[in-house]
Structure 1
Amino acid sequence: MTKKKLALKVICAAIAFVLIFFIFFILNSFVGNPISSTIAKNKIEAYVSENYDISDLELGKTWYNFKDGKYQIRIKSKTSKHTDFYIAYGRHEIYDSYLSGEVGCYLTDIIRKEYSYEGVDFIFHFGRFEKSMIKQKIHIPIDLNNIPVEVNLNINAYSDNPSKEESKKLMIEAYRIMKKNNISIANYSVSLRKPNMTDEDFKHTDEWSLSGIPASEIAKW
């Protein structure tokens, strides 16, 4: 074999290797890969088994969400059509949409029914979904008076004349509603801004907001 033919074969092999690697990279970006999928499946199933009462749950197939780079499994209830959520795994962390999604909606409905201020958004933040944070197995439907992870509430509101005092009023009312309904919120935050204020303006004039105030402190106001 001449040196020219040998060099040509080496070049062709290198091009083929690059093409195969490129195709694998593209496929991995959109559909994931079998090894990562298996790892994610095992992690999610272990998480569900450890933290949920699974007698009423059905776990679907593992699929890859290329938008956020996570593997997900759809979870359904055998008896309730309203229980339909996802648990995902990515970057070595579990993401549980039942607590952050469905339970957050339940809590929002409760506070919105009694809250006297209009044009207010409520965002509930749940503690990290690690085994050490789960106090007991989660039963579906969940007991809202005994949520097994820490819950924090952020209130987003607008006012023509924002002030710290108004932020405190917004926070106090939310605290009283949650306490009345026997729902434990660890910390409250209020983000108060003027109407039509841009995010950039808000960054420089955020003197009216209150952040991370413990419920125990609000109880003294």
Structure 2
Amino acid sequence: MKENNKLFFMLFTAAFIAVIFFLFHIYEDFNGNPFVKIRIKKSAEKYILETYKNKNLKIDFVGYDYKLRNYKTKVQSKKSIDTQFMLFFNKSGKLLEDRSYYVQNGYSTLARLDKEYNKMVRDSIDHSLPFDKKNFFVTGSFVKKFENDEASPHQINPRSLTVDKKYDIAALAKNSGNLSISVYTDDVSYKTMAKVVLESKKYFDKKKIPFYYMDIAIYVGSGTNFNQKMKSLYVFDFVYSDIYEKDLAERLKKQAEKSKNNSSSSNIYQEK
């Protein structure tokens, strides 16, 4: 009897250990090995000390990219708000990529400006919003100029930005701000969209939130129960100065034709 109990205990222990290893393997696949992360952090600290000789830099966090199967660390300056970039390592601690050029090329500064503008937009939402908050979503960002883009006065070229400089967000938004708005409603039509666009402009004007472009999407349904099969209409890059009542629905429809190629979704409903 004792031998049976001993055998059962051994089998149970072996099974328990196997389950623990299995669960750890699954965790490691998605989150990385915590022991490797410790080694990666040390490698990153050594790298920034030798490469930049800047005592103000620190490793903000160590993460894992399960798609690329590599580890990433965020380098952050203690004094410079815009000096933050990523380093990528393999599991052996070998550096794969240093993205400090994000700071040099202005992308880190532009990311900060995006956050400041988006916060301005989100903080403006209150009880006076003419839509149900559960069915209204908005984000603010700046229109960016990428390397191969044609020059436009309403894009921000990251290379033109100065690291850590304090910018007038409202002034930038008036020239290059983009509001992306999604509204869930009972009807999908350009007439309904026109009402949403007019009400949104009126609201954000009142809140003194400037923008140059508006992206607008309306869905039939509820924002708490989104699914890909919802009927929807999209319009991209609708200019602030074009938002007025006369023939707005028709002008939105024309703009949608230009926007159509920007979305590959087969669920976009086209009003007849």
Normalization by structure 2: what TM-score? 0.34
Normalization by structure 1: what TM-score? 0.41
- Relative contact order, higher structure (CA 8 A, sep 6+): 1
